[in-house]
Amino acid sequence: MSEPNDPNQQTHFGFEKVKVEDKVDRVADVFHSVANKYDLMNDVMSLGVHRYWKRFTLDLCAIRSGQTVLDVAAGTGDLSLDHAQKVGDTGLVFMTDINPSMLALGRDRLIDAGFGCTVQYVLADAETLPFPENTFDCITIAFGLRNVTDKSKALASMFQALKPGGKLVILEFSKPYEGWFNSVYDWYSFSLLPWLGEKIAQDRESYRYLAESIRMHPDQETLRKMMQDVGFERVDFHNLTGGVVAVHRGYKS
């Protein structure tokens, strides 16, 4: 078994095995490539259903006026925008992403919406969040955890940053639970999705990686156990669209 600091230690980049130290750059290249068409592709890929997934996630967050909220891997800012509306002038939202292209798009979106003063923008790795302990009332991460190299380390970093009584809400692709649906989902993921990526975003390979990264992500029960292992309590999850995505929620006591 490789030691934690072994330069030859490997991890998954989609179905491919790569060195741990190379994965961050490979993922960064994917999101630099797709950033400008990211929102359009989300609508096309999900036929707009991603908006329902995010609304369900936001309802579970139950953000209130005056709270301090962190949106990790915030991308183009869908969740951050809603957080900013909920916390109001007395609250604060921190929007982070490891990718500067995605973070810039999200920052421009929120500034254009008039939330320049209540939102802070931080280029940060989910595994090593640069915030003090016990800072946030709620942390969200939507469609970002599967791209993190060390997911347990990221979960622990988010746990540390939460206030006692705070909650983490994760929206991520997961494992469909209907057997017949898996065949349809595989065809969509590995044939139609890369084709859409090529035709709309001129980037077939990035969307092939995204499909593979979904398959390599832990299933619903495994992710719940990972959250419990770093200290989260009352961890539950909700399957949406037949388990294509799941929303996990856990609390810090």
Helix, strand or coil, per DSSP, at residue 124? coil
**pLDDT tens string for the chain (253 positions)?**
334 455 567 676 555 565 666 666 666 665 655 566 666 666 667 778 899 999 999 999 999 999 999 999 998 899 999 999 999 999 999 999 998 988 998 999 999 999 977 899 999 999 999 999 999 999 999 999 998 999 999 999 999 999 999 999 999 999 987 776 777 878 878 787 778 777 777 777 777 778 888 888 999 999 999 999 999 999 999 999 999 999 999 999 9
Whole-number Å distance between alpha carbons of 176 and 161: 31
pTM: 0.84
Got the DSSP string for 9-20?
-EEEETTEEEEH
Amino acid letter, residue 241: T
Half-sphere exposure of 53 (CA within 13 A, CB side): 27
Work out the number of other CB atoms within 10 angstroms of the CB of residue 119: 25
Helix, strand or coil, per DSSP, at residue 241? helix
Residue with tokens 């593979």: 212
Domain 47-176+219-251 sits in CATH 3.40.50.150: yes
Whole-number Å distance between alpha carbons of 61 and 91: 15
Q: Where are the domains of the chain?
A: 47-176+219-251
Residue with tokens 């995010």: 54
Cα-Cα end-to-end distance for the chain? 34
